[in-house]
Amino acid sequence: MDKNYKSFFASAMIFSVLASGCSDNGNNSESSEIIQSTADTSITATTDEESSEDSSEDDKETKAVQLSVNSSGYECNLTDIFSENDLNPNYSAENQIILKNDSIELKGKGNVNNSDVMITEGGAYKITGTLDDGQIIVNSDEKVWLILDNANISCSDSSPVYIEKSDKTFITLAPDSENTLSDGKEYSYTSENENEPDAVIFSKDNLTVNGTGTLNINANFNEGITSKDDLTITGGTININSVGNGIKGKDCVAVSSAEINITSQADGIKSSNADEKGKGFIFISGGTFNINSMEDAFQSEQEFIIDGGNINIISGEGSSSEYVKQHTDSMTGGHGFGGFTPQNTETEAETTISRKGIKSGTNMYINGGNITADCSSDSIHSNSDITISGGNLELSSGSQTIHADNTLSIKNGSIDILKSYEGLEASVIDVSGGNISIISDDDGFNASDGSTQGAMGQNTSGVAVKISGGTVYVNAEGDGLDSNGTMTISGGTVTVDGPSKSGNCSLDSNSGISLEGGTLIAVGSSGMVEYPDTDSKQKFLAMTADVNSEFTFKVCLENSEITEYKPQKNYSGNVSIIVSTPNLAENNEYTLYIDDNESGSYKVNEVPAGGGFGGGRGGFNKTPREDFDPENMTPPDGFNKRNPMNGEMPEMPSGFSNEQLT
């Protein structure tokens, strides 16, 4: 086929700025779009004056998104993300494109050239039938609706759907329809300098996919769906099998509702604009996502906001992949700040492959939704800050499970880390709420800024672990809670099943551990134990005992029990037991019982003779333990432990090609 493509640069931008300093002028750039919902009415365009009443109705839809995000602390105005037309798939098409294998019947506007259709005017076009080798091309200054109603289109040397130019294009999946788009393994261009289009659906301008039908995409050349502007998805079932990225929007990807199933050899869903402030973001307010990607499942160059939805991820073949096994010897522990090399070192050569679950270039906000991730690298990663205000997260990782370069703030939600090299890592880890459970081969918490300081016990300024609320459980073979700076516990309930062998400890800091409130139980090998500061506002008991295998301990004041706990892993030899509750009082003598046998008497804030490191011992580079067995490391009763995905993804619908990609 002869493809003579034209150049066109997008002039319309409908999204508000999403970074600090962002503002909203109150204008909706799609205020002129109106979809009449009656079955016998065509899609029409009106002037701004004609649509003022309808535009305010549109605002009712979009302001719900704004309030949802702002209620969780995100302060930017997002009123332009989903327009009324994005959210309303009702239609009545005045133009019909009937595909007949190697020919096309056109009823209405448009031009047919052999097996290609060129759409040059705005309006709605209903597409049905099968096209063996051809294209739907949009080149219009107006808004265009493509209604796919059991359409099957293949194109051997280019994009089956190529949106060369439009004010905005809507691809609507008709009710009860199943549509399939496929491309070839090679594309033909008019010159050697051309490299676009390169996706099954390729748009140079704003693109929306909506409706209730099904869309199957077989991307044999590169990507599944690509927009060089904004990409919005508000409905339908979308199944993508891609040798490249599954879905890519340059300025953003925004999803309010859909079922999206992706198998990709590169990233699953990504936004690619790293240069313009307020663009290059991903926003998810709902929908279901099943993504199995060889590289990042989600990757945004700038902000990432999750307000809802059900997200199921496997990236890099999962936390037990051959890639993880091959790189185990390179893992440098918490103080490497990023896990094994070179995968997690973002400053490495451009050829470095990233295999993370959810990744953002700037701030990430998780306000709700259900996330299940099994990743060879980090499950959740930000090059800046992460704020978790809600949601249910079940995560498995071959590296740091949740990593933020700067601050990780956990305010609410449930975080269940089933498998990790390290659980939480950031310069500042600030927990004020939520329910957190961590199983880790190395550190459970690791506060580090990635510098070389801290390795010899030096404090790293500004680095901190701060726990003021919530429920935290850590089962770690490295340090339970580790800070290369300060550590403060002022509230919440913290339980640590620390290391069973010497060389690590349940609590480790470089400038002291301050207890100001809450409840703390920390158990671990006594070989490198560090105790809280003796001048802490809240009292603590520092105890030791010789144990063999499983045991239960309790602390009593005379006949009154202060606390009782059974560690969820086996210990042998001398163990350290640290207990702090608001009920401990000075001048009292407390008795430790091991399996109902009296083991010793202790007073508050007294460190055992010859034991402990005040102010922290710094960090050591560590390699994973050969005897680490995560199957036998389980949190205490009360934590919900669902089965990980074990590398399995839901079956694709019948008729969808899911052959092995090469």
CA distance 209 to 225: 10
End-to-end CA distance of the chain: 26
pLDDT given for residue 69 in this prediction = 53
In this predicted structure, the answer to whether residue 653 has a pLDDT above a threshold of 60 is no
In this predicted structure, the answer to whether residue 349 has a pLDDT above a threshold of 50 is no
Among 570, 557, 499, which Cα is nearest to 529's? 499
Question: Which one has a higher pLDDT value, 130 or 348?
Answer: 130
Length of the chain: 662
Q: What is the mean pLDDT of residues 465-486?
A: 97
Neighbouring C-beta atoms of residue 352, cutoff 10 Å? 13
Q: Could you give the dihedral angle defined by the CA atoms of residues 146, 149, 152 and 154, in that order, rounded to the nearest 10 degrees?
A: 0
Residue 408 counted as domain residue:
yes
**What confidence tens digit (pLDDT) does each residue in 310-341 have?**
999 999 999 988 777 665 434 433 333 433 33
CA distance 178 to 185: 23
Together in a domain, 334 and 433 = no
Question: Percent of the chain having pLDDT more than 90?
Answer: 69
Neighbouring C-beta atoms of residue 582, cutoff 10 Å? 10
Residue 44 counted as domain residue:
yes
Together in a domain, 457 and 397 = no
Residue 477 tokens read as 């073979």
* DSSP strand pairing (400-404 vs 380-382): parallel
Q: Single out the residue in 57, 87, 117 at which a domain terminates.
A: 87
Q: What is the mean pLDDT of residues 224-230?
A: 97
10 Å CB burial of residue 98 (0-12, 13-18, 19+) is middle
Q: What is the mean pLDDT of residues 54-74?
A: 45
CA distance 459 to 512: 10
Q: Cβ neighbours of residue 457 under 8 Å, at least 6 residues apart?
A: 510, 615, 616, 617, 618
Whole-prediction pTM value? 0.83
CA distance 50 to 73: 36
Residue 533 counted as domain residue:
yes
Together in a domain, 547 and 406 = no
Most distant CA pair in the chain: distance in Å?
Answer: 95
Q: Single out the residue in 67, 87, 107 at which a domain terminates.
A: 87
In this predicted structure, the answer to whether residue 34 has a pLDDT above a threshold of 80 is no
Together in a domain, 410 and 484 = no
pLDDT given for residue 212 in this prediction = 97
Q: Give the helix, strand, coil percentages of the chain, each rounded to 5.
A: 5, 40, 50
Q: Single out the residue in 87, 120, 149 at which a domain terminates.
A: 87
Mean pLDDT of the chain, nearest integer:
81
Q: Cβ neighbours of residue 158 under 8 Å, at least 6 residues apart?
A: 1, 3, 135, 183, 187, 188, 197
Question: Which one has a higher pLDDT value, 333 or 79?
Answer: 79
pLDDT given for residue 74 in this prediction = 52
**What confidence tens digit (pLDDT) does each residue in 500-513 have?**
988 899 999 999 99
In this predicted structure, the answer to whether residue 53 has a pLDDT above a threshold of 50 is no
Residue 596 tokens read as 């109902």
pLDDT given for residue 321 in this prediction = 82
Classified as helix, coil or strand, 145 is: strand
CA distance 376 to 324: 6
Residue 661 counted as domain residue:
no
In this predicted structure, the answer to whether residue 616 has a pLDDT above a threshold of 50 is no
CA distance 430 to 433: 9
Q: What domain range includes position 79?
A: 33-87
Question: Percent of the chain having pLDDT more than 70?
Answer: 74
pLDDT bracket for residue 412 (50, 70, 90): very high
Output the DSSP codes for 477-528. Answer: SS-SEEESSEEEEEEEEEEEE--SSTT--SEEESS-EEEEEEEEEEEEESTT
Together in a domain, 433 and 488 = yes
Together in a domain, 457 and 396 = no
pLDDT given for residue 513 in this prediction = 97
- Residue 140 sits at φ, ψ, to 5 deg, of -145, 155
Q: Element (H or E) spanning 400, and its range?
A: strand 400-404
Q: Cβ neighbours of residue 607 under 8 Å, at least 6 residues apart?
A: 531, 534, 542, 614
Together in a domain, 453 and 325 = no
For residue 75, CA distances in Å to 22, 24, 35 come to: 9, 12, 31
pLDDT bracket for residue 459 (50, 70, 90): low
Together in a domain, 434 and 567 = yes
Together in a domain, 338 and 432 = no
Residue 268 counted as domain residue:
yes
Together in a domain, 369 and 445 = no
Neighbouring C-beta atoms of residue 554, cutoff 10 Å? 17
Together in a domain, 437 and 497 = yes
Q: What is the mean pLDDT of residues 529-541?
A: 96
Among 337, 389, 397, which Cα is nearest to 368's? 389
pLDDT given for residue 555 in this prediction = 97
Residue 406 counted as domain residue:
yes
Q: How many domains does the chain have?
A: 3
Residue 198 counted as domain residue:
no
pLDDT bracket for residue 651 (50, 70, 90): low
Render the burial of 181-195: b for 16+ CB within 10 Å, e for the rest.
bbbeeebeeeeeeee
* DSSP strand pairing (445-447 vs 422-426): parallel
In this predicted structure, the answer to whether residue 602 has a pLDDT above a threshold of 60 is yes
Among 278, 377, 285, 286, which Cα is nearest to 327's? 377
For residue 217, CA distances in Å to 108, 180, 657 come to: 27, 6, 9
Question: Which one has a higher pLDDT value, 67 or 403?
Answer: 403
Together in a domain, 282 and 362 = yes
Render the burial of 46-70: b for 16+ CB within 10 Å, e for the rest.
eeeeebeebbeebbebbeebbebbe
CA distance 407 to 73: 15
Residue 455 counted as domain residue:
yes
In this predicted structure, the answer to whether residue 299 has a pLDDT above a threshold of 90 is yes
Q: What is the mean pLDDT of residues 39-44?
A: 32
CA distance 293 to 361: 19
